[in-house]
Amino acid sequence: MKFFSRGMVLFFAGTCWIGLGNYLLSSPADPNDAAQASLGKTIFDARCSPCHGISGKGDGAASALLNPRPRNFTSGMFKFRSTESGSLPTDDDLMTTVKNGLYGTAMSDWAPFITGDSLKAVVNYMKTFSARFQNEKPHPVHISSQIPSSAASIVAGKKVYAKLQCANCHGTDGAGAGVIAKDFKDNWDFETNAVNLIEPWTFRGGSSARDIYLRFRTGVDGTPMPSYAGTVSEKEMWDLANYVVSIGRKPVWKMNENEIREFYAKLDAQAKADPVERGKYLVRTIGCASCHSTYTDDLRLVEGTQLSGGLTFDLYPFGKYVARNLTSDMETGLGNWTDQEIKRAFTQGISRDGRKFLPFPMAWPAYASMKEDDQNAIVTYLRTVPAVHHKIPDPEKPNIFSYLWGKFRMLILKERIPSPAYPMKEATEQQPVSQISPSATKNFAARADREKEARP
Amino acid sequence: MKKILKWIAIGVVCLIVVGFIAFLYLIPPFDMLPREAFSQPHAAAVASSLDKINDPVERALAKRGQYIMSISDCNGCHTPQGDQGPNWDEYLAGGAKFEMIKPGTAHSRNLTPDKQTGLTRRTDEEVKRVLRSGVFHDGRIFEPTFMPWPAFTNMTEEDRHALVTYLRHIKPIKHDVPEWSPNSSAPLNSFYPYDYAEHEKKK
């Protein structure tokens, strides 16, 4: 026993003690950390999960209709950073995004509602979705001193725009004129567009020269926009930023009488010239897909079923109606319908076979006020939607007694049936909203495969 | 004589019953009316005059906003429903009741520029935030199946501005709409953020 001297025993004991102390200090059992994590989760679940999903995968209830899609935090890839291409964003970057929102997207500016500790907590919670944040450190870029905008700098910037072939994606005028590529996919397989450079209020990460400089310098990860670090000099990047700032046009809220008249005339002309784009815009903003899609039992839109119908409305005593398939499938969709028949259906509520729609939930009385050009645009766009084979059952009418009893309740007893809320109530209470047929599932899978193959 | 009277009485009763059933069967709601009965009042209500607006820019914006509003069918929920369709006198005054098991009961809001009960209480930014992100003035998020804000978010910022401009110029109607009441028996799903304010207070 002489081998272990008293000193050595003390030394070992001390080492263990220090080690234990270190362990305790660094352990996550720290009550402050736990409180912050729970606060972060509460805020995230309440405010972020409707779009980003409870598990941060970008698959929240609202996600299927949004363009661009909400960020998938599990991939650890972020678009708007002040760090090198491919690197993680700094905490400040994430906080800026939460505070200011992303202009031109559904991401709200949370500054009035999430501040101080709450902001830090939610950003820290967001970072737990990807393992990258534990293993890597962000590499902030060195931002060189800003070159103030001047006529010379703008001219130089224009040359850089040509040299870097920005026009290939953003168009010669910055607004997409004469582009060679329009249909981009991002790393998450969703459609993405080159930003319209003459509308600075839609620049996601802000429209100051510094913000624009950062987008060239860092790239927009996950999209075809690369980082130009090393390709051009720092001065050229600032010139380019000054040039992009200089080509921004006036938004409608700053226009005068003549400008706004010309602007709206131009929009109408554009809509006529490119009906597919206009139709896509109308179909998306009106939200055709919010009903003409398949939903799960807890009212989540099934990804990939957009516009192929399936949501059931139980409108007792008028029957059970299922939203129709609007894709260009010959048998189950609109493939066989003439333009006139489609227009009559959504403006007069008369189906191809002469069946009359109720005035709701299909809002054809509202669409009746649509301009002829817009009606044509919608038809043109719907023809371009890839066909999905999804057979929709015909409306189920109740038997005559049930129908009369329902009308009696409605007209004499003044019960409020059917009300727009009725189908939603039914759906969450008793029965699934709709069933996807096996053939439909197969078709969605096949469609996804086809789209994947078509991509380079 | 009595027999005849009896038969007449029976006949009358039968006629009344058959007549009532026929009345119930044939009375218009919805599927029996001509199509114009729905679309024309809609068009008439929507075409409220905007020519009184003095500022030509405001007028141009409001006219575009009006068109966007009418084709987006804001009426569908925000104009109160009567027995025979929307009550156009209360155009966009809100109040339609939506009862749902999970999130609770909500009433469509009053969109008219009334000072106490309408949208005048909210800034342009607050209204646009609702249309863009489904976030209420107090930070609550809409259930996306309530109001289809995930569709309206695809609107350009300029069209959204036009829409808000239009809402500032419609006829103000005083209509106090009940606030949201969450369903307390439903499991507290984190998706519905009514517990959030409490959490903030405790802090």
Helices A257-273 and B56-71, packing angle to 10 deg: 30
Asked if pLDDT for residue A258 goes beyond 50, the answer is yes
Residues of B in contact with A283 (CB under 8 A): none
- Interchain proximity A285–B85, CB inside 8 Å: no
Contact yes or no for A199/A248 (Cβ under 8 A): yes
Asked if pLDDT for residue A441 goes beyond 80, the answer is no
- Among A231-245, A294-308, B26-40, which is the least confidently predicted range? B26-40
Q: How confident is the model at residue B130, as a pLDDT?
A: 93
Read off the DSSP letter of residue A147. P
Q: How confident is the model at residue B101, as a pLDDT?
A: 60
| Facing residue for B151 by CB, picked from A109, A284, A363 | A284
Q: How confident is the model at residue A424, as a pLDDT?
A: 40
* Pair of tokens at residue A166: 């920005």
Tell me what percent of the residues of chain B surpass a pLDDT of 70: 80
For B109-157, the DSSP string reads ---S--TTTSGGGS-HHHHHHHHHH-B-TTSPBPPTTTS-HHHHTTS-H
| Facing residue for B25 by CB, picked from A253, A371, A404 | A404
Tell me what percent of the residues of chain A surpass a pLDDT of 90: 48
Q: How confident is the model at residue A184, as a pLDDT?
A: 85
Confidence of residue B184 (pLDDT cuts 50, 70, 90): low
Asked if pLDDT for residue B203 goes beyond 80, the answer is no
Residue from B190, B195, B201, B203 to probe the interface with A (highest A Cβ count within 10 Å): B190
- Among A288-292, A414-418, B47-51, which is the least confidently predicted range? A414-418
Residue range A320-346, pLDDT digits in tens? 889 999 999 999 999 999 999 999 999
A109 compared with A441, residue with greater pLDDT: A109
Q: How confident is the model at residue A81, as a pLDDT?
A: 93
Rounded to the nearest angstrom, the minimum Cα separation between A229 and chain B is 32
Domain with CATH 1.10.760.10 in chain A: 34-135, 151-249
Asked if pLDDT for residue A300 goes beyond 70, the answer is yes
Confidence of residue A356 (pLDDT cuts 50, 70, 90): confident
Q: How confident is the model at residue B196, as a pLDDT?
A: 39
- Interchain proximity A286–B72, CB inside 8 Å: yes
Q: How confident is the model at residue B83, as a pLDDT?
A: 62
**Other beta carbons less than 10 A from residue B117's beta carbon:** 18
Rounded to the nearest angstrom, the minimum Cα separation between A359 and chain B is 6
Residues of A in contact with B129 (CB under 8 A): 108-109
Q: How confident is the model at residue B202, as a pLDDT?
A: 42
CB contacts under 8 A, A 149-208 vs B, are 201-202
**Is any Cβ of chain B less than 8 angstroms from the Cβ of A108?**
yes
Residue range A12-65, pLDDT digits in tens? 444 444 444 444 444 445 667 788 888 888 888 888 888 898 889 988 888 889
Residue range B63-108, pLDDT digits in tens? 999 999 989 988 888 888 766 667 888 889 988 877 666 666 778 8
Q: How confident is the model at residue A451, as a pLDDT?
A: 42
Asked if pLDDT for residue B148 goes beyond 90, the answer is no
At residue A313, what are phi and psi to the nearest 5 degrees?
A: -115, 120
C-alpha distances out from residue A371 to A349, B29, B59, B61, B70, Å: 16, 28, 19, 17, 11
Q: How confident is the model at residue A423, as a pLDDT?
A: 36
| Residue (of A222, A218, A217, A225) closest to A197 by Cα position | A225
Q: Where are the alpha helices (H) located in chain B, listed in sequence order?
A: 2-26, 36-46, 56-71, 75-78, 124-133, 149-152, 157-167, 196-202
**Is any Cβ of chain B less than 8 angstroms from the Cβ of A101?**
yes
Q: What is the CATH number of domain A34-135?
A: 1.10.760.10
Asked if pLDDT for residue B27 goes beyond 60, the answer is yes
Q: How confident is the model at residue B31, as a pLDDT?
A: 59
The mean per-residue pLDDT over the stretch B30-52 comes to 74
A435 compared with B118, residue with greater pLDDT: B118
**Going by CATH, does the domain composed of A151-249 fall within 1.10.1040.10?**
no
Residue with tokens 């999905």: A388
Sequence-distant (≥ 6) Cβ neighbours of residue B125 within 8 angstroms: none
Residue range A104-150, pLDDT digits in tens? 899 999 998 888 888 999 999 999 999 999 999 999 999 888 999 99
The mean per-residue pLDDT over the stretch A253-270 comes to 94
